[in-house]
Structures are given as C-alpha cells and as structure tokens.
Structure 1
Amino acid sequence: MDELSALAARVWGELAQAVSTRGHPWRTATLATVSPEGLPDARTVVLREWDEREQTLVFFTDARSPKVQHLQHLQHQAQAVLVLWHPGLGWQLRMTVRTEVTFEGLAVTSRWARLKMSPAAQDYLSPLAPGESLQGLSPAGASRPHFAVVHARVLALDWLSLNPEGHRRARLCPPERAAWLQP
C-alpha cells in the first residue's frame, strides 16, 4: 500500500470514528453553500453516518432551514463544501460533496424513529423554522416533525496537515486522481 492509500485509509477511519464518537473533532463540520441569490453561507452540521464504500456522509436538518433551499436551488448540481478540523492531528479536510435532501420514505422514517425519543428531536418539532423570531412563540410544538436527511457524497477531498516541522497536503478523492500537492 502506498503512502497516499494509507493516508486515505486513516482519514476514512477517522470519519468512521467521528460519526460514532461524541466529542470527536470531526463530528461537527462546517457546511458551506451558496444561496439562490448567489451569497455564500456556512453553518455547523453534526455528522451522523459515514458509508466508506459509497463515500457518503449523512447529517440531519430541519426541512424548513435555509440550507435546504441552498442545497436544492441547483437540483442538478446540488454541491456544497464540508470543512472539518482536527486540532489534535493538525488536520483539515475540505470535501466537495454532492447532496441529496430526503424528506420522506424509509431513509427518513427509520432515522426519525431512533431520534424522536432523544432531546435532539425538539430541534425538528418547533412550530417555527430555523432563524425565525421567537417573539409571539406559542408553547405548542409541531404536530409533525420537520425532519430531513441529507446524504453528502464526497466528490473531492483535500487533506492538509499543519505541522511545525512542515505542512503537507494531498488530494485523496477521487482515488484515481490522488496526489501530493503543494501546501
């Protein structure tokens, strides 16, 4: 196994740990999108699943959130960037992803069934959409969850290691284009 393949395997292993380990630095990622008006926007998302074979990450969202509009306004090219930072390793990952937002079906209902009894369920039961004013909020919650699942398939991955002894950078995905890059 060459050095780039070993590095990719280690990165995939860290992603697998991140989705299952609370407190892992990569469990939360910055998702950067572009609004329908062409304005950049970024927010933190919690990574919930990683499928190495499909190279797909999963996170949840309120179906009414602006990020959903951003991810859907270019339906044929729903691309975004996920940025992750691991201070212990000094590693940054920048992943260009193609996203698909799912609002119903087994992918949603099975995940909602696991989540609905947890405190996190309240994030998807609010009568107000994310970003709306709390002024005049009624105490009643939503009768149906505003829960959606986002699948983010990795199209390109740029790895950067910041180290006092010298920075290193590599393109790890797609595998056929893996290469060391100038930091």
Structure 2
Amino acid sequence: MDLKTFEIACWAVLTEAAADPQAGFRYLTLATVDAAQRPQARTVVLRECHDVRRTLTFYTDVRSPKWQEMAANPQVTVLGYCHQRRLQLRLAGRVACYAAGSDVARAAWRALPQHTRQTYIAGPPGEALAPAHETPVATAAETGESRFGVMIVQVNMLDAYQLQRNENPRALFHYPAHGERQESGWINP
C-alpha cells in the first residue's frame, strides 16, 4: 500500500463512521487539558467528517467541563481504534466551539432527532443526580437548545497505525489550515 492510499482509507473510515452509528470509528476519545494541566479524556460521538477540509464535528452540552477546557486551550487530540479493521487513528488539532445562537449550532440542532435533543434538558454533565422527587420537570418551552454546542476540530496531524500479522504500517500526515497535506511519511510502529 502506498502512502496516499493509506491516507485516503483513513479519512474514508472516519467519513463512514459519521454516517453510520454501527461503524467502528463512530465513538472516539477526545482529550483536552484541564485548568490544573491534567489530561482529560472522554468518549464523544463523531457527527461529521470532512476529508477535504480535514475537520471532525462533535456535539456537547456547553455546561460540560470539556467545553470550559477547550475555551481555555483549544488544542485537542482525538483517538480512535477500530477492532475490526485493526486500525488506530490519532488526530491532533485546534477546536472551534459554537454555542447556542450561532448559525452552526442552530443548524445542527434543527437536524437532531428528538430523542437526542432530550439529553440536553437534564442537569449539567458530571453533577450528582437529584432524587426523582426533586428533579424539576422540563416545561414544554424547554428544549435544551440553549445548552447545545458544536465542536469542530481542524485536524493538523494524523498518526495512522495499521496492525497486521507481519508488517505494521504507520504513517504521519501534517495538514495546514486549508486541509491539503503538507508533509507526510512512513514512521516506525
């Protein structure tokens, strides 16, 4: 396999995962750094992938710690491993966050199914659950939209590692802001 074919295949599986809830790369790990400079990682759902622009899109509750962490330091890493393909993808980049009221968030919210919208009505992520009798009931006017945010990662580096029986190809790709490959090469596994 040549370098370009490997790169295209990596982006193709991410694009597939954004469209298919059963795909191996649908759930990825997003890593940020908190205020105490400790790494934080959590699973996020890949909502969109644009292979030409080299962007990955995720949704979150703007009250979540990761939203605050990304506001303070927009450098993130996204990690995924697909057991069926035996492929690991590590992507680093800069995240742009779009809160409720932005055109990006409004468009994404309108496209969300009702059952997904429901997740933004509850209390802030990570807080203790209130007893059932103390949980406020959402009003008909409460949609959760004010708590909805979109995160778009502009990928500037892709480290792709394919596990095989014999040789394990690994490549590093770097991208400038416009998405075209700047430099790349095979590296030791």
For the pair 1:53 / 2:52, whether they are aligned, the reply is yes
The unaligned stretches of length 5 or more in structure 2 are 176-180
Give 1:119's aligned amino acid: H
For the pair 1:106 / 2:103, whether they are aligned, the reply is yes
Q: Distance in 1 between matches of 2:93 and 2:154?
A: 5
Aligned residues: 177
State the 1:169 CA deviation: 0.8
**Which residue does 1:95 correspond to in 2?**
91
State the 1:165 CA deviation: 1.4
Q: Distance in 2 between matches of 1:3 and 1:172?
A: 13
Give 2:95's aligned amino acid: T
Q: Distance in 1 between matches of 2:30 and 2:37?
A: 16
Q: Distance in 2 between matches of 1:164 and 1:73?
A: 42
Conserved 8 A contact 1:65-1:129: yes
The 5-angstrom pairing of residues 160-179 of structure 1 reads 160-174=161-175, 175-179=181-185
State the 1:144 CA deviation: 4.8
Conserved 8 A contact 1:4-1:172: no
**Which residue does 1:158 correspond to in 2?**
159
State the 1:176 CA deviation: 2.5
SS of 2:93's partner is strand
**Which residue does 1:180 correspond to in 2?**
186
Please give the root-mean-square deviation of Cα atoms over the aligned residues, in Å.
1.5
* TM norm structure 1: 0.91
Q: Distance in 2 between matches of 1:173 and 1:90?
A: 22
Conserved 8 A contact 1:91-1:160: yes
Q: Distance in 2 between matches of 1:63 and 1:19?
A: 21
Q: Distance in 1 between matches of 2:98 and 2:160?
A: 29
The 5-angstrom pairing of residues 142-157 of structure 1 reads 143-145=142-144, 146-157=147-158
Q: Distance in 2 between matches of 1:16 and 1:73?
A: 29
Conserved 8 A contact 2:118-2:143: no
Q: Distance in 2 between matches of 1:141 and 1:179?
A: 53
SS of 1:178's partner is strand
State the 1:69 CA deviation: 0.9
State the 1:31 CA deviation: 0.5
Q: Distance in 2 between matches of 1:38 and 1:162?
A: 32
State the 1:110 CA deviation: 1.2
Q: Distance in 2 between matches of 1:180 and 1:141?
A: 53
Q: Distance in 2 between matches of 1:135 and 1:21?
A: 34
State the 1:59 CA deviation: 0.5
**Which residue does 1:16 correspond to in 2?**
15
Conserved 8 A contact 1:156-1:172: yes
